[in-house]
Structure 1
Amino acid sequence: MAFRPYSPERGFLTRQAFFGLLLAMLIAGAGIVFWLGYRDHGTQAPEGAGPPIDAAQLIERGRYLARVGNCMGCHTEAGGKPYAGGRALATPFGTFYGPNLTPDPEHGLGKWSADDFWRALHRGKAPDGSLLYPAFPYPSYRHVSRQDADALFAYLRSLPAIASPDRPHDLAFPYDQRWLVAVWRAFYFRPGPQETPAEGTSDAWLRGRYLVQGLAHCAECHTPRNRLGALVDSATLAGSLIEGQSWYAPPLTGDRATGLGEWTQQDIVDLLKTGIARRSHAAGPMAEAIRQGFQYADDADLNAMAVYLKSLPPVGTDTAAVAAAAAPAVREAGRKLYGQHCAQCHGENGQGQPPAWPPLAGNISVMAASPDNAIHMVLSGGFAPATAGNPQPHGMPPFGQAMGDEDVAAVVSYIRQSWGNQASAVSLPEVRRVRRAAR
């Protein structure tokens, strides 16, 4: 008997009619997805510009905002000219390259208008309507006000024009198919204003939220992502491994073991301003953000960010951070290595010698759900960022040549499970992965 699904109006459908109907439904569904991905949400025109402001003041305001947002970080190649693009950003989907933001008419923003720039920040669209990859963090920049967007644009337009062509992204298939960004946006992107705060919220908290969620785009590193690279809204600022870089951005929430629960507001301000605080020092991508950006922020803005971050509730210690104790032999090997190489600076009990050398006891980078940061420091050493508040930072020598993978795993396991620290032991594959990334 032929397959004929039942329809109350027509009885049974023929197989051909049924699959025709199914195909029509699939096409309609795909059309809806693409409409959601390409449409302009909310108002059809950008917000109106703010009240007139002196051009020189607008440019200086933009210079300040560009520093706070560390725009150079993605748009300046190492050793290259400022904002001329070319900086590589490694991701699980391939490598993105920051575009040219100078006012060059062919390769930069020379033909853009202020409205075009605002649309890029708020809607993730180029002037021709094409969709930008969310490696440009417009899911965060959608919170930037029109007034600040105009100031940023004025500053970028004031830079020397550099005729440096953009480098094409090097993405794996199918991520190199830009039209798929529309599908991603349909599920994960909705531009719009920030949520209305509770009545009685302070101006400092509002300013801090604006900076943290918007221009500083803290969530882009400190929030975990799903398999398609979208931020997990239920775990905002709960800490995340920065895929492609093998650095871990710790939680900025109020968790006492792995977050900022034990930090004071001043501790946060100190770290952002100088790169060092009594509980930890900045390293890796955070050190760059401080050196090129946050150290130039005014005290009011840094305090506002600290007020907002201290208001965030704990999200709970990641279970990976309190499991898998090191074997006794590994722990003993780590203890000996620590005494030989580390105790002179960091103390027999991990107390450190602030501000020169940070404590390891209670250090959120040491106790993080991922051991990558501690492994990086043992392998490669490094310095806290050089800032006006700490112009000659003390450094840590690299031990990657002197220590094999087993030694590194042992000493990092030891510091993660000593002096009250309760974090997981370190495996050889974890050390090898970080060693490859550090090359």
Structure 2
Amino acid sequence: MKLKSLLIANAVLVGSFAVQAHAEDEAQLIKQGEYLSRLGDCMACHTVSGKGDYAGGLAIESNLGTIYSTNITPDKEHGIGNYSEQQFSDAVRKGVLPNGSRLYPAMPYPDYAKISDADMHALYVYFMKGVKPSSEQPPETDLSFPFSQRWGMRFWNWAFTSDKPFQPIGGASEEVNRGAYIVESLGHCGSCHTPRGLGMNEKALDSGDDQFLAGGSLNNWDVPSLRGLPRWSEQEIVDYLQTGRNDKAAVGGEMKSVIEHSSSHMTDADLKAIASYLKFLGGNPALQAYDVKKQQATEAKLTAAKGLSEGERLYIDNCGACHFVTGKGAPGIFPELDQATIVNAKDPSGLIHTILAGAQQPSTEKAPSTLAMPGFAKRLDDDQVAKLATFIRQGWSNNAPAVTKDQVAEVRKTLK
């Protein structure tokens, strides 16, 4: 009898240890999945201010029309609570829902296809057990014909996606390959920074093609190349991704959301890996040879403040206090204008939008202060903005085409 009681007690004890171990494993998976969701920037597209996390409803403007993000909480009626792990994986990696319908590539599944099985499992556990269910029902995406025919995405996927898993770069360091995995899969950096083809497809999905991360266009903004980033050190890349600013630049446009919801939450090791990978890619020449004499001539003329053009006068009156006569701004506070990517972009829309609407840096753990540039839409008319932007694009060592008032008028129409 005593032996039987002892065996029962031992069995209960073993069972209790097993339950505890399972709970600890699950807790660790939830924590890992939460971090991976930050790497994947899921929050930015599937969360709307004032509503629950991942409840969907964000309006994503595309060339096809407005696409609304879905509820990806574990709610069983309006979310993904009934998804099996395989169905979850198919939606994330292939853009295929359990009912067979197809997602639009506003969901970056062509990049997510490279997510490892282990990371996919952790993501599934997190979204099913670590996210609070929400009964929020986002608006339905309703595009015009023929884009409303989701079955057509089957052929788009056949032509433009790949189910090939992530391929480490032969001969590269472990750190570079960690960065490559993040950038090419969860980070889906190519969805914005890789040029698109006629089918609105990313022209390349990995570093095996020189077009990968070679720059593109998003909502009429020129998106810069990330290949090599010759003007930035690895630490400056880390600083930018971690805080939205470094000694040369400050975040603007869609990238602000990426910093706020994703990269500012990454570990130092992962940020360094990303920086190492981008520098490893190379292949991106500097904007132009730095023209010291031209830079000094602009600085001297602004300092003397004599015989100024209207664009130069507008700069002194509206911009000089922060960006100075040197065009160098203040390191870590006000970005450089001399040789800045947004200033020298082929399409000046990003610069025009910033002048009109202003910009605001995100508040992050490493840089909690929120610095804002005011917008000048009410203060300056289209012709004045055009002359100001033209001066900035041609002053110091910059050498970009002039801006017209018609270009300014088009950007002004987009302001909310």
Structure 2 length-normalised TM:
0.85
Contact 2:387 2:403 survives alignment (8 Å): yes
Structure 1 residue aligned with 2:224: 250
Structure 1 distance, partners of 2:399, 2:211, is 22
- Root-mean-square deviation over aligned CA pairs: 2.0
Partner AA of 2:141 in structure 1: H
Structure 2 residue aligned with 1:160: 132
Secondary structure at 2:346 match in 1: coil
Structure 1 residue aligned with 2:240: 271
Contact 1:278 1:358 survives alignment (8 Å): yes
Alignment partner of 1:305 out of 255, 270, 274: 274
Structure 2 residue aligned with 1:39: none
Q: Does the C-alpha gap of structure 1 residues 317 and 430 become closer, same or farther in structure 2, counting only changes over 3 Å?
A: farther
Structure 2 residue aligned with 1:112: 83
Matched, 1:176 2:145: no
Structure 1 residue aligned with 2:316: 339
Structure 1 distance, partners of 2:338, 2:189, is 25
Secondary structure at 1:305 match in 2: helix
Deviation (angstroms), 1:121 = 2.1
Structure 1 residue aligned with 2:408: 431
Partner AA of 1:312 in structure 2: L
Structure 2 residue aligned with 1:26: none
Q: What percent identity do the matched residue pairs reach?
A: 38
Structure 2 distance, partners of 1:210, 1:369, is 30
Contact 2:231 2:286 survives alignment (8 Å): no
Contact 1:72 1:83 survives alignment (8 Å): yes
Contact 2:230 2:286 survives alignment (8 Å): no
Structure 2 distance, partners of 1:289, 1:213, is 15
Deviation (angstroms), 1:286 = 0.7
Structure 1 residue aligned with 2:8: none
Partner AA of 1:59 in structure 2: I
Matched, 1:377 2:345: no
Structure 2 distance, partners of 1:181, 1:220, is 17
Secondary structure at 1:407 match in 2: helix
Structure 2 distance, partners of 1:414, 1:353, is 20
Contact 2:168 2:177 survives alignment (8 Å): no
Structure 1 distance, partners of 2:320, 2:378, is 19
Deviation (angstroms), 1:201 = 1.3
Deviation (angstroms), 1:53 = 7.6
Structure 2 distance, partners of 1:248, 1:77, is 26
Contact 2:287 2:339 survives alignment (8 Å): no
Structure 1 moving runs of 4+ over 4 Å: 315-319
Structure 1 distance, partners of 2:256, 2:390, is 24
Alignment partner of 1:212 out of 183, 186, 209: 183
Contact 1:261 1:314 survives alignment (8 Å): no
Matched, 1:188 2:165: no
Q: Does the C-alpha gap of structure 1 residues 194 and 53 become closer, same or farther in structure 2, counting only changes over 3 Å?
A: farther
Structure 2 residue aligned with 1:221: 192
Matched, 1:134 2:111: no
Deviation (angstroms), 1:54 = 0.4
Secondary structure at 2:385 match in 1: helix
Structure 2 distance, partners of 1:400, 1:94, is 27
Q: Does the C-alpha gap of structure 1 residues 284 and 208 become closer, same or farther in structure 2, counting only changes over 3 Å?
A: same
Matched, 1:354 2:331: yes
Q: Does the C-alpha gap of structure 1 residues 372 and 299 become closer, same or farther in structure 2, counting only changes over 3 Å?
A: same
Secondary structure at 1:224 match in 2: coil
Structure 2 residue aligned with 1:236: 212
Partner AA of 2:380 in structure 1: M
Partner AA of 2:214 in structure 1: A
Structure 1 distance, partners of 2:63, 2:256, is 23
Alignment partner of 2:119 out of 142, 148, 168: 148
Secondary structure at 2:217 match in 1: strand
Contact 1:116 1:127 survives alignment (8 Å): yes
Contact 1:356 1:393 survives alignment (8 Å): no
Structure 1 distance, partners of 2:132, 2:23, is 24
Secondary structure at 1:182 match in 2: helix
Alignment partner of 1:95 out of 55, 62, 66: 66
Matched, 1:314 2:291: no
The alignment covers a number of residue pairs equal to 370
Partner AA of 1:78 in structure 2: S
Q: For 1:249-285, what per-residue CA distance to the aligned partner results, in whole angstroms no more than 9, with x for missing partners?
A: 211113xxxxx11110001000001111011001121
Partner AA of 1:402 in structure 2: R
Structure 2 distance, partners of 1:304, 1:159, is 28
Structure 1 residue aligned with 2:294: none
Structure 1 residue aligned with 2:383: 406
Partner AA of 1:369 in structure 2: K
Structure 2 distance, partners of 1:367, 1:253, is 17
Structure 2 residue aligned with 1:197: 169
Contact 2:184 2:190 survives alignment (8 Å): yes
Structure 1 distance, partners of 2:47, 2:370, is 24
Deviation (angstroms), 1:290 = 0.6
Deviation (angstroms), 1:375 = 1.2
Structure 2 distance, partners of 1:318, 1:174, is 40
Structure 2 distance, partners of 1:80, 1:74, is 13
Deviation (angstroms), 1:315 = 4.7
Secondary structure at 2:121 match in 1: helix
Contact 2:230 2:285 survives alignment (8 Å): no
Secondary structure at 2:310 match in 1: helix
Contact 1:405 1:432 survives alignment (8 Å): yes
Contact 2:33 2:126 survives alignment (8 Å): yes
Q: For 1:220-245, what per-residue CA distance to the aligned partner results, in whole angstroms no more than 9, with x for missing partners?
A: 111121232111225221122213xx
Partner AA of 2:30 in structure 1: I
Structure 1 stretch displaced more, 87-96 or 152-161? 152-161
Gaps of 5+ in 1: 1-50, 255-259, 320-330
Alignment partner of 1:415 out of 382, 387, 392: 392
Structure 1 distance, partners of 2:34, 2:412, is 37
Alignment partner of 2:253 out of 281, 284, 288: 284
